[in-house]
């Protein structure tokens, strides 16, 4: 199964402030606030939703095609993705521009201040999926993940026009888009990915009820944090797939990106949607235990054991084909 992932490519600059933001905010001065913090830790990670999801799929040997734009500083990142099984030949490198930057500072209360600079990402709207299809000889699925809204709409339109199945993961871009654009973006998606907040926002932006959304997509997967994942299809009873229990998060995981990669890897391996969601949760658990969104490795035996312990023997057996192309280890 050849999958293309369209979405952002970014460098994440993650800082930790040992104090509390609230102690530096003066209610009477919020309109003219000027804040400066001395942070005691800075970590730079490879990130961006599209790249994170492609990284996860690459771990399963699926050679996902990453479609997005990066800057002239992309060389080291490009090599990293290649080494982890991602086809980066459809990434547009914009000369003179920098790869997108995400800057986040968290405090002792887990409060967060963030900023995002799109950089080269805006050039992604010039990429045609038709050129990608011509290069790789066809696509079985396109995941349209968070990116510049114009880019997301163009790729969705091309999928519809050329009959390419697509999945949608619009994320927080929903807030920036008009009602008609959001309706266009998600209608007819084989799988729609949202978290709980995005699910509510999606209904508000489309004007559709929860059932109305479900009737317009093949399936809907809603992440529930520690409670796992809600899997819904029209005409069928919803199913909650529990998360892997007793995890200790060690860093900024972007576990939702890993979950999407695991779900798509499960579907590519021929699993049903519920089993694919179980694989997604298992992969997300590896990301949660890692120090960054592209710092985990899919060890075949370890992931098999996690599926076995959490979801039972039949789940591990059913998902074994999806694990076949993962990091070469002895079969369990």
Q: Return the closest-CA partner of residue 99 out of 183, 10, 209, 33.
A: 10
56 in Cβ contact with 262 (< 8 Å): yes
Burial class (CB in 10 A: 0-12, 13-18, 19+), 113: middle
Choosing from 257, 299, 309, 318, the catalytic residue is 257
* Strand, helix or coil for residue 92: strand
Q: Return the closest-CA partner of residue 150 out of 183, 185, 115, 104.
A: 185
Under 8 Å CB-to-CB from 266, ≥6 apart: which residues?
A: 275, 276, 277, 278, 279, 280, 319, 322
Q: Let me know if 257 is a catalytic residue.
A: yes
User: Angle, to 10 degrees, between the axis of helix 129-136 and the axis of helix 149-162?
Assistant: 50
241 in Cβ contact with 221 (< 8 Å): no
Compute CA distances 18 → 24, 32, 59, 105, 164, whole Å: 13, 24, 35, 10, 48
- Just list the catalytic residues: 257
């Amino acid at each position: 199964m050849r999958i293309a992932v369209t979405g952002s490519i970014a460098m994440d600059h993650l800082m930790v402030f040992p104090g509390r933001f609230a102690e530096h905010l003066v209610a009477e001065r919020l309109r003219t606030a000027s804040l400066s913090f001395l942070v005691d830790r800075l970590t730079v990670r490879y990130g961006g939703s599209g790249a994170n999801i492609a990284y996860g799929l690459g771990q399963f040997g699926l050679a996902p095609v990453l479609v997005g734009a990066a800057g002239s500083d992309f060389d080291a990142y490009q090599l990293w993705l290649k080494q982890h099984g991602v086809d980066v030949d459809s990434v547009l490198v914009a000369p003179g521009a920098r790869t997108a930057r995400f800057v986040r500072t968290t405090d002792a209360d887990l409060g967060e201040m963030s900023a995002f600079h799109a950089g080269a990402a805006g050039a992604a709207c010039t990429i045609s999926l038709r050129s990608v299809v011509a290069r790789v000889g066809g696509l079985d699925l396109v995941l349209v993940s968070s990116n510049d809204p114009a880019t997301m709409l163009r790729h969705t339109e091309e999928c519809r026009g050329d009959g390419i199945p697509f999945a949608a993961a619009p994320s927080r871009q929903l807030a920036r888009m008009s009602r008609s654009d959001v309706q266009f973006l998600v209608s007819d998606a084989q799988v729609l990915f949202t978290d709980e907040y995005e699910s509510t926002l999606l209904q508000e932006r489309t004007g559709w009820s929860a059932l109305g959304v479900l009737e317009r997509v093949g399936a809907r997967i809603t992440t529930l944090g520690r409670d796992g994942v809600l899997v819904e299809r029209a005409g069928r009873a919803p199913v909650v797939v529990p998360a892997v229990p007793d995890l200790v998060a060690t860093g900024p995981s972007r576990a939702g990106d890993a979950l999407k990669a695991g779900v798509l890897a499960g579907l590519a391996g021929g699993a049903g949607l519920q089993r694919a969601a179980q694989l997604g949760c298992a992969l997300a658990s590896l990301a949660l235990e890692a120090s960054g969104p592209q710092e985990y490795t899919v060890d075949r035996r370890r992931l098999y054991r996690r599926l076995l312990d959490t979801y039972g023997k039949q789940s591990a057996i059913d998902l074994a084909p999806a694990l076949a192309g993962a990091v070469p280890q002895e079969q369990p």
